[in-house]
Amino acid sequence: MWKTFLIILRSYRETSGNLSLFLVVFLWVVTAGITVLEPIIFTLIIKEIEEYFRVGILDYDAVYLYTILWGTFIVFTIFLTYLYRYFFVYKLNMKNYVLTCKKFNEKIVHMWYAEYIGKKQGSLYKIYDRGVSGQESFLYFFFGDVIKNISSVIIIVSILIYVDVRMAFLALSMIPIMFLVGWVFVFRLSKKQKILNDKRDSMFGDIGNILSSFMLTKSLFLEKTFLSKMSKLLDKIHIEQNRVWKWWSLANVYTSFLVMISRILVLGFGVYFVVDGSLSFSELFLVFSYIWWIYFPLSFMVDRLNDIVKHLTSVQKMYQEFSQQDNEDIYKWTMCRNVEWNILFENVSFWYLDNSKILKNISLSISKWQKIALVWDTGAGKSTIVNLLLRFWDVSSGEILLDGVNINTLKKSSLRNHIGVVSQDNSLFNLSIEENLKFANPKATKTDIEQALKKAKAHFVFDLPKWLKTVIGERWLKLSGGEKQRISIARLFLKNPEILVLDEATSALDNKTEKLIQKSLDTLMKGKTSIIVAHRLSTIQHADCIYVLEWGKIVESWNYKELMKKKDKFFALANPDKLLLG
């Protein structure tokens, strides 16, 4: 918790600057000091009343002066509090909120793909949302209340000690017990709250799974399964959160009880001291008034400990989740310039954390403008080779060279800018067709877009009522699979990359649509280095070299005609009658 607190303060200092941070603390201490003077003004008026009862003369001028001073004091305090809260708390805190959001937006967007696929989308969103909101709420509380309250208590303690040490001791006697109780509650409940937050994140992860695979959920009738799972989790959260809140409610009872004891001690001993003449009535009034000024802010902070623990655990979770995420382009990697696009996989092996090898000493060469194909059954490692080239993962051993340069030394954004991918499930955003296409080339003109759509055989776009301004429905419900694929190909025509990757680009399409799109792909592949991952023979028959993978190894490689003559692995896999592999 303490480390998280320091991280938040460091973030605030980076936002506000050292001078503003100093002014925030200084002005709030000044505001707190002025605020606690109010009981002293009342005490001066009571002194005049005491003097009246002692000598029978009331100094009206003094009473009027103190009353005017009290009114002026109230107006000035309200004005100073407004200036402080608006200009130094709310505005600076909102600035910190915006910059924190930008910082973690960047971390999320630049998250390594290998890290992302192991996490639930809903959980990531909830961790981020609760973290930035928790930091905002904590800073409002800390700079809006904590500094003022602590400053007020310190100043009041100094005044009480100056007035009467005995009364100061009586007034403050319950504070150590209050802090001890608060610390025990924080220590015991912070871990429980963290576990509860993790369970909530898990639930939002399930919601993310449902929404990201909504059609699958519906087709497999999984609604009841997910609802039952989430309902049971919510019931557990409800029971456990109630237990936590029960303890925090008891903390409030303890603090109220301690305040009552302190007031009884001050009033009881104070009356005794007034009777024996060692304490004036005005001094008793001052001490008794300040009890509320001491214990109210302290009990308020104890009451808020529940929220503070929740905020700090949320912030801690956010920093733990995202602080380890490397920005893919923060390093000064080499840019891809004047490249011939000769690719070499040299003894490349890859495995996940469980050390089960996906690829085993893969070696293959792709020359400029060459067209190669990767074939075999699912799980053989074909798509993994593509992901390694795009640096979604880094190789576990061996190296991938681009014109003799290890791609691990290349800037990822620069490398990917020269690679275009057409996959089985090309993603389109819930934006207009024009916006989706311009992501590939923001400078593309209307003519460029029209040409790209024609090359991609996406003439259907010109028949749409709003044409390029047509907004693609969520999850592409307004487009068929073939239409979606053709817009994705048009996007690649606009990007015009030097390396083209076709990853099962036509496997989910019917034969008629597949033939139409294949013509677009043939046009797209002209003058490009192409890597084809496919099950259909029609897409690989004209490849310069076909690599056959089995259990992560290359077991055969040659062109289509020679592999068929060889009558080995590829021949057994091929089915020319149906133009399919397998």
Per-residue pLDDT tens digits for 104-132 = 777 776 676 666 665 666 667 777 777 88
CA-to-CA distance for 248 and 306, rounded, in angstroms?
Answer: 6
CA-to-CA distance for 106 and 453, rounded, in angstroms?
Answer: 32
Over 142-208, what HEC string results?
Answer: HHHHHHHHHHHHHHHHHHHHHHCHHHHHHHHCCHHHHHHHHHHHHHHHHHHHHHHHHHHHHHHHHHH
What pLDDT is recorded for position 475? 46
DSSP state at residue 464:
S
Per-residue pLDDT tens digits for 169-193 = 888 888 788 777 777 766 666 677 7
CA-to-CA distance for 83 and 70, rounded, in angstroms?
Answer: 20
**For domain 343-418+497-581, which architecture applies?**
3-Layer(aba) Sandwich (3.40)
Per-residue pLDDT tens digits for 490-522 = 888 888 888 888 877 666 556 676 677 777 777
What pLDDT is recorded for position 72? 80
Give the confidence band of 476 by pLDDT, cuts at 50, 70, 90. very low
pLDDT at 483 over 70: yes
Give the confidence band of 385 by pLDDT, cuts at 50, 70, 90. confident
pLDDT at 38 over 60: yes
Exposure string of 185-207, with b = 16+ CB inside 10 Å and e = fewer, is: bbeebbebbbebbeebbbbbbbb
- Span of 37-46, 419-428, 470-479 with lowest mean pLDDT: 470-479
What pLDDT is recorded for position 252? 66
Classify domain 428-496 by CATH number: 3.40.50.300
What pLDDT is recorded for position 337? 61
Give the confidence band of 415 by pLDDT, cuts at 50, 70, 90. confident
404 three-state secondary structure: coil
What pLDDT is recorded for position 384? 79
pLDDT at 578 over 50: no
Q: Residue 327 — φ and ψ, nearest 5°?
A: -65, 125
Q: Report which of residues 1 and 361 the model is more confident about.
A: 361
Domain boundaries, the chain: 2-322, 343-418+497-581, 428-496
Decide: 216 and 200 in contact? Cβ < 8 Å: no
510 three-state secondary structure: coil
What pLDDT is recorded for position 208? 67
pLDDT at 70 over 80: no
Average pLDDT value for the chain: 76
Picking from 176, 153, 182, 173, the residue whose alpha carbon sits closest to that of residue 253 is 182
pLDDT at 327 over 60: no
CA-to-CA distance for 557 and 82, rounded, in angstroms?
Answer: 76
DSSP state at residue 541:
T
E runs forming strands in 25-86: none
pLDDT at 267 over 70: yes
Picking from 144, 164, 44, the residue whose alpha carbon sits closest to that of residue 86 is 144
Q: How many Å separate Cα 59 from the centre of its chain?
A: 65
Decide: 333 and 407 in contact? Cβ < 8 Å: no
Q: Report which of residues 115 and 15 the model is more confident about.
A: 15
Q: 343-418+497-581 and 428-496: same fold?
A: yes
pLDDT at 576 over 60: no
Q: Is 405 exposed, middle or buried (0-12, 13-18, 19+ CB in 10 A)?
A: middle
Provide mean pLDDT across the span 473-479.
55
What pLDDT is recorded for position 579? 45
Fold category of 2-322 in CATH: ABC transporter transmembrane region fold (1.20.1560)
Instruction: Dig out the tokens for 125 from the structure.
Output: 């969103």
Left (φ > 0), alpha (ψ -120 to 50) or beta: where does 280 sit?
beta
pLDDT at 31 over 70: yes
- Span of 27-31, 265-269, 271-275, 555-559 with lowest mean pLDDT: 27-31
Decide: 328 and 107 in contact? Cβ < 8 Å: no
Per-residue pLDDT tens digits for 198-233 = 777 677 766 766 666 565 566 556 667 777 777 777
What pLDDT is recorded for position 403? 82
Q: Is 578 exposed, middle or buried (0-12, 13-18, 19+ CB in 10 A)?
A: exposed
CA-to-CA distance for 160 and 170, rounded, in angstroms?
Answer: 10
Give the confidence band of 332 by pLDDT, cuts at 50, 70, 90. very low
Over 318-374, what HEC string results?
Answer: HHHHHCCCCCCCCCCCECCCCCCCCEEEEEEEEECCCCCEEEEEEEEEECCCCEEEE
Highest mean pLDDT among 18-27, 389-398, 426-435: 389-398
What pLDDT is recorded for position 575? 61
What pLDDT is recorded for position 429? 74
